[in-house]
Structure 1
């Protein structure tokens, strides 16, 4: 076998492979013998079909399959052993392959076009610092969160007259129905928070026991809201227009939950805190934890952006655009590929950078690491707690393995989880090598930073 890499430029190359009988003949002969033992042919006992007939019937297809398999392994091995930064897939010279005379040739020549990324290095000491934002939860954020929780855990009270946000219960009647149709009437609830803003003052101050008329399509111009107010199906609510009368039988109001032990227990669990001061402290801790996750996401984004912006990599643009058109089999026009090409190249470059970092730091992902991440996913999804319950741990293990080894999606669950763990390890390593500067910011300041990104 002869393999030659010819570089036309820093980012374009061709790989030429020449195969001789010494490379493939022994394996082809072996498979022909295997076929000979299994093939059935009229007039011959099984396993006694003459080799010449087996060769005539199956020789070419076996040769083609063996050559194709050998080429695939050879190209992959050459790229791996020579650490070529290949982007896209090697593209075979189809005209050369189509011209092969499989019946008479014994020596075969193939060539592949390769797209290469230019050589690059990662020197962390030369990279600029990255800011990690520590979002402070002040009184404003704590007060807003507690107010929202009080609304979420509200109680119901009854009122004598309607106010903004109330719900009116009573009898709704159509004043004049279309000719030949019975007037629409029903017992229902009118949610005032769904009434058109300009029409809302009409309802405010209406008293329990009062009957009034209103134009329903003006009060509830949105068809979904009109369906909610009337209890009719959306497609039927469209036809409900004109004047309706409504008799108020009850007015219900949401009252924010009081800051008492019952409320604390509902929000945090029984007995977690004992007074308002402890409750506020715990709420602040929870807010800080949520902010920490948001800050971590932005830090990851900034680490990746810093690596991208400071690592020049050339790509074979023309090769990649042609390759994208070919592998997507006409699903995208050249204009669409051009439009999305910048985002695509960023993802390619970022993956090349991550692979380089992993190689330098000898970062690998073991099966047990993938399993542990999947176990945690199972615990969160099904509400399983961590602990020493052996039966529960075995159940979690079984679910995790079944998820990772699901044959229905050809192992994609394992691949995607493995890649996520790999990416996380690379980014965590990069954080240890970069200079990370911590900066305290308010929530509003953080939002402004994140929006600018």
Structure 2
């Protein structure tokens, strides 16, 4: 009779030993071998007519090994089911000392290492926390700035004979050269289009009053202040710090005067297609609402990050670290070295804690996503892409066949499933945490420390 014993070798780290007698596995082995004899195809013999001795000799050893391990694994599974043991990943088999020999069957011990899932408490961490939900105030100034940006973006450019004002658009090309402006024959020309006011101040002075066709030889370090230098090297020059002393020949190819777009139906349609915006007032309302939606998305994401970081760092969870490291070394597709495991363990630990916490919350609160919800979500998003609502689905007769195709796209299905699932989880958490609403200005909001930093300092020691 097979026996199973269990002993602890560390925190949440056990070995489970399955002891097999030959009577536990020989019948299964003989039966498998008979199956083999029926199907084995060996040249010179008709199917199913291969002599048993020959089958045993050719296939016996590998069938024997497979059967013994299969019987041991089944015993282990039954034991874990009966004892209700929840484990991480899968059991890791320890090296077997007994030699497996079908001609001399004996008792065999299989020892498996397992990492046990911990019990932990999420409730009290949620109860003890207080989070802020920000609402960004949309000032009239912000709307004016946004409107100015839009008018410039959709404006048109009139060509000019010379540079006359800060808001002129400068079309130019840069090429690396020597101090006299001689460039190598194969030197790469870098094209740039930029509003004059965005250029280094000294360069602006050099260009004022100049017309297309003019060239100047410059060194970034001469025309830039320290603050301007990094940005100028990166764009337009697309170069590193080593280029600061390099000479460049800059040639003005065209000067444009930007005429901002008018507030007319053409602009309304370009900025808000399919919304039937008819006047400036409606345009401004749409602008304000869209900005509100975008800010709500940003502040919502921040709240989610805060909930995530708070739970991951404050819920006390003991983990079987030595087991998990062994599993990372040997259990994955590719084997890792101990150094690789140590380097990756921090982020693995973070993910694992979140997985345990989120699984527990979803299980205990019945949070799940159905196939229908996934289909509906994909449908809504695809329609929105074409500017349609669900009411206008008749205008997309191809939708059914598109959905059928999407349901076979595992990556898309998985991403949609996870997004909806965690969306529901966070919506649920918002009803559980104490949350204070706070109004905040746009600048202040973007200056807040990120959620990770906020909660990281009271991380418990592992």
Q: TM bucket by the smaller chain?
A: 0.7 to 0.9
Whether the aligned pair in 1 keeps the contact of 2:406 and 2:413 (CA below 8 Å) is no
Find out whether 1:343 has 2:357 as its counterpart. Answer: no
The secondary structure found in structure 2 opposite 1:121 is coil
User: Residues 134 and 85 from structure 1, CA distance in 2 versus in 1: closer, same or farther, beyond 3 angstroms?
Assistant: farther
Distance 1:271 1:362 in 2: 39
Choose from 213, 217, 239 the match for 1:215.
217
Query: What residue is the counterpart of 1:200 in the other structure?
Result: 204
Which runs of structure 2 are paired with 1:111-126 in the superposition (5 Å)? 111-123=111-123, 126=127
SS class of match (2:318) = coil
User: How much is the aligned-residue C-alpha RMSD, in angstroms?
Assistant: 4.2
Residues 1:277 and 2:281 are matched in the alignment: yes
* SS of 2:121 mapped into structure 1: coil
Query: What is the distance in 1 between the residues matched to 2:317 and 2:186?
Result: 73
Displacement, 1:287?
A: 0.8
Q: Secondary structure at the match of 2:122?
A: coil
| Contact preservation (8 Å) 2:65, 2:100 | no
Aligned match of 1:15: 16
CA distance in 1, matches of 2:215, 2:45: 97
1:133-165 residue CA offsets vs partner (Å, 9 max, x unmatched)? 222322232222212212211211233430345
**Cα distance in 1 between the residues matched to 2:99 and 2:279:** 85
**276, 293, 299: which one pairs with 2:297?**
293
Aligned to 1:394: 400
* Kept after mapping to 2: 8 A contact 1:2/1:18: yes
Q: Which moved more, 1:338-347 or 1:111-120?
A: 338-347
TM-score by length of 2: 0.76
Deviating more after overlay: 12-21 vs 162-171: 162-171
Aligned residues of 2:312 and 2:350 also touching (Cα < 8 A):
yes
Q: CA deviation at 1:403?
A: 0.9
2:7 counterpart of 1:6? yes
CA contact (8 A) 2:4 2:76 kept: no
What is the rounded CA distance, in whole Å, between the counterparts of 1:170 and 1:92 in structure 2? 67
The DSSP-based 3-state class of the residue aligned with 2:111 is strand
How far has the Cα of 1:313 moved from its partner?
Answer: 1.0
**TM-score normalised to structure 1 length:** 0.77
Change (3 A) 1:276 1:377: closer
**Matched residue, 1:268:** 272
User: 2 CA distance for matches of 1:338 and 1:402?
Assistant: 38
User: Paired residue for 1:356?
Assistant: 360
> Structure 1 residues 119 and 243 mapped into 2: Cα distance closer, same or farther (>3 Å)?
closer
Which residue pairs with 1:303 in the alignment?
307
| Equivalent residue runs for 1:41-440 within 5 Å | 41=42, 44-72=45-73, 75=76, 78-79=79-80, 82-96=83-97, 99-123=99-123, 126-162=127-163, 163-164=165-166, 166-167=168-169, 193=196, 197-207=201-211, 212-215=214-217, 225=236, 251-269=255-273, 272-327=276-331, 331=336, 334=339, 337-375=341-379, 386=390, 387-389=392-394, 391-404=397-410, 414-415=413-414, 417-440=416-439
Contact 1:127/1:310 (8 A) holds in 2: no
**Are 1:379 and 1:396, in contact at CA under 8 Å, matched by a contact in 2?**
no
Provide closer, same or farther for how the CA distance between residues 132 and 63 of structure 1 changes in structure 2, counting only shifts above 3 A: farther
> 2:29·2:67 contact (CA, 8 Å) conserved in 1?
yes
What secondary structure does 1:307 align onto?
Answer: helix
Q: Could you list the per-position Cα deviations for residues 192-218 of structure 1 after superposition, in whole angstroms to 9, with x for gaps in the alignment? A: 65865432311112257xx75521666
Aligned counterparts of 1:170 and 1:291: Cα–Cα separation in 2: 36
List runs of 5+ in structure 1 lacking aligned partners. Answer: 228-239, 405-411
Alpha-carbon distance change, 310 to 273 in structure 1, aligned in 2, over 3 angstroms: same
* SS state at 2:109 partner: strand
Which one is further off, 288-297 or 196-205?
Answer: 196-205
Distance 1:292 1:172 in 2: 42
Structure 1 residues 24 and 355: alpha-carbon distance in aligned structure 2, compared to 1, 3 A threshold: farther
For 1:105 and 1:183, the matched residues in 2 are separated by: 78
